[in-house]
Structures are given as structure tokens and as C-alpha cells.
């Protein structure tokens, strides 16, 4: 498969860029429309696949990047030994989940959902740059509000917040009284 000029331009741009390039930037630098860029990206990825490259182009945190294949995780990880942070604990992941879906939210809100103290989980997430303090709630005590960061999207390979797994009902659920909730099983899961 011979790649066209546009696809190769896109490849060159993504490779050379210091930062992930957004679709708008790719359009601007190549002088093409969004659809053409998307198609060019598809052709590139097909070419990578056909030629059994260890790379693909992915969209993470609103930008396109060249990514290595999962298969080579072990080999590549040697480059970053000792520097790469460990995986998040369950407490941190649960806290992360609550913040991701109900941001901006207070510590109290997180704790009322998880039913346990979340101080250390929040601290870990702040240190790892997964969340940030995005303001204060204008209620007595003016508690801090937490929101997710771009590092969060990058870490979990999300292109943007809309790409979080869909749980449309969460917002509804959070604001719903217990009696309202009785009436329906929101997730169709019923039992564990």
C-alpha cells in the first residue's frame, strides 16, 4: 500500500510535534478538512497494521499521538524503570471514579458515596496530577472542589471527558431521593 501525500504529512507532523496535535491543528497545518484528516489517519493506521509495525496513532486527551503496541509494554518499560509510577490503589481508583463523574465535587461528596475517609486517596491523586483543586464551593466552610486533569485523560487513555464509559443516570442518581430510587432499577443490573 502506497501512502498518499496527506497521510504522510499527518504522520510527519504527529511524529515531530512536541505536543499532541489536535484535529484542528492537523487541519491547519495541512490545509485540509476534518474528514480528510480522519481518513488519512485511518489509512496511516491501516498501513501500520499491514506492515506489522509496533505503532499506531491514537487520540488521547484531545490530541493525536504515536503509540506503541501493548504487546511491547514489557520491552519498552525498561526505558523508564524506576521512574514510572506504580498503579493506583482501589481506594484511589474509586475516588477517581467519583471525581470523574461528579466533578467538580467536594471531599465530603466523595466520602458520602464511598462511605469512608478519602483524605489519602485524594492526596495521592493530587500528587500524581490526576486531579486538581478547581475552586471552592460557596457554602459554609467553602470546601475545596476537585476536578480531573489532562493527565487523568492521558493515564486512562481517554480522548476527552465525553469518552468516559457512559453512565447517563449518575447525575440523576446523585440528586435523587431514596424513595424515587425505589421505583426503578437504574442500571438494569438488579443483583450483583
Quote the least distance from Cβ 16 to other proteins, whole Å: 9
Asked if residue 133 lies in contact with residue 145, where contact means CB atoms within 8 angstroms, the answer is yes
Quote the least distance from Cβ 92 to other proteins, whole Å: 9
State how far the alpha carbon of 53 is from the alpha carbons of 25, 45, 69, 154, in Å.
Answer: 25, 10, 8, 22
Quote the least distance from Cβ 70 to other proteins, whole Å: 5
Measured from the CB atom, the residue of 39 and 134 that comes closer to other proteins is 134
Quote the least distance from Cβ 28 to other proteins, whole Å: 18
Measured from the CB atom, the residue of 52 and 80 that comes closer to other proteins is 80
Quote the least distance from Cβ 108 to other proteins, whole Å: 13
Measured from the CB atom, the residue of 13 and 36 that comes closer to other proteins is 13
Measured from the CB atom, the residue of 36 and 113 that comes closer to other proteins is 113
Quote the least distance from Cβ 149 to other proteins, whole Å: 8
Measured from the CB atom, the residue of 40 and 158 that comes closer to other proteins is 158
Alpha-carbon dihedral sign for residues 152, 156, 157, 161 = negative
Measured from the CB atom, the residue of 33 and 163 that comes closer to other proteins is 163
Asked if residue 116 lies in contact with residue 85, where contact means CB atoms within 8 angstroms, the answer is no
The footprint of other proteins (CB under 8 A) covers: 15, 17-20, 58, 60, 65-70, 73-74, 76-77, 80, 83-85, 87-88, 90-91, 93-94, 96-98, 100-101, 112-117, 126-127, 129, 132-133, 149, 151, 154-158, 165, 167, 170, 173-174, 176-179, 181-182, 185-187, 189-192
Amino acid at each position: 500500500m502506497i501512502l498518499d501525500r496527506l497521510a504522510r504529512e499527518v504522520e510527519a507532523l504527529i511524529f515531530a510535534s512536541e505536543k499532541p496535535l489536535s484535529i484542528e491543528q492537523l487541519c491547519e497545518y495541512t490545509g485540509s478538512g476534518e474528514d480528510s484528516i480522519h481518513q488519512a489517519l485511518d489509512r496511516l493506521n491501516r498501513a501500520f497494521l499491514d506492515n506489522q509495525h509496533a505503532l499506531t496513532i491514537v487520540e488521547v486527551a484531545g490530541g493525536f499521538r504515536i503509540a506503541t503496541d501493548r504487546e511491547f509494554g514489557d520491552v519498552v518499560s525498561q526505558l523508564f524503570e524506576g521512574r514510572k509510577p506504580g498503579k493506583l490503589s482501589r481506594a484511589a481508583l474509586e475516588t477517581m471514579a467519583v471525581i470523574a463523574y461528579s466533578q467538580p465535587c467536594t471531599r465530603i461528596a466523595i466520602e458520602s458515596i464511598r462511605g469512608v475517609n478519602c483524605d489519602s486517596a485524594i492526596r495521592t491523586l493530587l500528587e500524581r496530577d490526576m486531579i486538581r483543586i478547581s475552586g471552592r464551593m460557596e457554602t459554609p466552610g467553602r470546601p475545596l472542589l476537585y476536578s480531573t486533569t489532562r493527565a487523568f485523560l492521558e493515564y486512562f487513555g481517554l480522548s476527552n471527558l465525553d469518552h468516559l464509559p457512559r453512565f447517563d443516570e449518575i447525575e440523576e442518581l446523585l440528586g435523587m431521593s431514596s424513595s424515587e430510587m425505589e421505583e426503578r432499577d437504574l442500571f438494569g443490573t438488579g443483583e450483583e
